[in-house]
Amino acid sequence: MKNIIIASTSTIHGGEYLEYLLPELSKHFKNCKTILFIPYARPSGITHEEYTAKASLAFAKINIAVKGIHEFENATSAIENAEGIFTGGGSTFVLVNELYRNNIMTVLSQTIKKGTPYLGTSAGSVICGLSMQNTNDMPIVYPPSFQTTGVIPFNINAHYLDPDTQSKHMGETRETRIKEFHAYNTIPVLGLREGSWLDVKGSKILLKGNLSARLFRQNQVAEEIESETDVSYIK
Amino acid sequence: MKNIIIASTSTIHGGEYLEYLLPELSKHFKNCKTILFIPYARPSGITHEEYTAKASLAFAKINIAVKGIHEFENATSAIENAEGIFTGGGSTFVLVNELYRNNIMTVLSQTIKKGTPYLGTSAGSVICGLSMQNTNDMPIVYPPSFQTTGVIPFNINAHYLDPDTQSKHMGETRETRIKEFHAYNTIPVLGLREGSWLDVKGSKILLKGNLSARLFRQNQVAEEIESETDVSYIK
């Protein structure tokens, strides 16, 4: 049975890394002594070691050890044998590129579908969708494909941001960009605001956190989804 | 001799489409009765016809006719024979994908280098760089490559936006994203604020408009470049 937390962000304003999620994570990973960390997204370009140390520090607060996937000789078996898996945020392009380069996109998808508890934040959440095409990140590397794990049947826009009505900036709003996506694609997109997450248990997908989320579908007006809604109907 | 205008945006806050640039464009395209418009970037997913009509309306004010590249049977000869060329903004991913799909990325580069007057705005400016890797756009389609025309020896970040120090949003700032780019790439990036443009005449590249621009290089602190500076030293 799938057991996944898909969080918009690792950190909310004024909080520590993962702090707001720790009570959830304590339950989510309750049978894990050690979880596998995938640090490939390298936020601000930090190393795999530095990023793993950061994740370790947060998980130490709930008595869970963290081991980086780069510490294993065989990334595939590291995933297959993990008690739990966490993929951190950073650059979705770098993350997806590394998952393909290490030939583990498929095994990651299969392992999550089999029920290994998984946590994604930001880029680590984007890869839960069918494709990474609704990332906000800059295309700083060229991945061999935009397809991701598809452990949920729609796409995620993390750090979803409402249009700033006071802004004099003429660049596209997030909503405009997602509408452009739907000029060429039919995949629904769920905009998850910072502090929101999806709790996936088997075929049930609950929206959690205090905020509503914004659902975008091709040729339809965007709609607000309230917290605690089962969004497993979206496909 | 190269003759290029590379504008951050087509439209500044409170102005009409291309309005702030028309005096420049009138000089830039002074020998053109008709210019070729490349509408591939399709902002908000509008059609090639709609986008060409919009460009025509603006250029009519300076008595220049506009013909869309989609109106030609042979896109390559349309570019080779154009009196002047304008590539509009929208999705850089869609634009680059279409340039490759129509097999005209190379001929566009060669034609601009030979001296056909060129105007780019936003996505149409990003493609003047070595690669499209500093676009702000969402990867809504998967282009066969991120390489672009390279008519200037660095990359452009259009609609450059300074960090909002009041924001409680935890998503990456523009500067952070460009720094992440430099964890993997050596190409310099010039952040062009809205209202700025580069005026390229042969090997000279002048920064124009009222604002400074922000230059990012690998392993260096970002620096502000004043308007009217010759930035042809950047490579």
Query: Which residues in chain B are closer than 8 Å to A94, comparing Cβ atoms?
Result: 180, 184
Average pLDDT over residues B18-34: 98
Work out the pLDDT band at A168, boundaries 50, 70, 90.
confident
Q: Give tens-digit pLDDT for B182-209.
A: 999 999 999 999 999 999 999 999 999 9
pLDDT of residue A24: 97
Per the residue annotation, which of A159, A212, A227, A232 is the catalytic one? A159
pLDDT of residue A96: 98
Pick the CATH number of A3-159+192-211 from 3.30.479.30, 3.40.980.10, 3.40.47.10, 3.40.50.880: 3.40.50.880
The secondary structure element, H or E, covering residue A153 is none
8 Å CB contact between A178 and A218 = no
Contact A181 B140 (CB under 8 A): yes
For residue A167, pLDDT beyond 90: no
Average pLDDT over residues B8-35: 97
Higher pLDDT, A204 or A169: A204
Residue pointed to by tokens 């963290």? A66
Mean pLDDT, chain B, integer: 97
pLDDT of residue B21: 98
Q: Does domain B3-163+189-213 have CATH number 3.10.20.600?
A: no
Q: Please state the φ and ψ torsions of residue A178, each to the nearest 5 degrees.
A: -70, -35
Q: Which amino acid is at A116?
A: T
Contact A170 B177 (CB under 8 A): no
From the list A204, A225, A231, A230, the residue with the least C-alpha distance to A3 is: A204
Q: Give tens-digit pLDDT for A77-116.
A: 999 999 999 999 999 999 999 999 999 999 999 999 999 9
Taking the C-alpha atoms of residue A30 and residue A37, their distance in angstroms, rounded to an integer, is: 16
8 Å CB contact between A35 and A64 = yes
Strand partners, B85: B36, B118
> Could you tell me if B101 lies within 8 Å of chain A, comparing CB atoms?
no
Q: Give tens-digit pLDDT for B139-189.
A: 999 999 999 999 999 999 999 999 888 888 888 899 999 999 999 999 999
For residue A12, pLDDT beyond 90: yes
> Could you tell me if A47 lies within 8 Å of chain B, comparing CB atoms?
no
Give the number of other CB atoms < 10 A from CB of residue A233. 8
Taking the C-alpha atoms of residue B50 and residue A42, their distance in angstroms, rounded to an integer, is: 41
Report CA torsion sign: A95, A100, A102, A104: positive
For residue A170, pLDDT beyond 90: no
Average pLDDT over residues B113-135: 98
For residue B47, pLDDT beyond 90: yes
Where along chain A do its domains lie? 3-159+192-211
pLDDT of residue B141: 98
From the list B176, B141, B150, B183, the residue with the least C-alpha distance to B162 is: B176
% of chain A at pLDDT higher than 70: 100
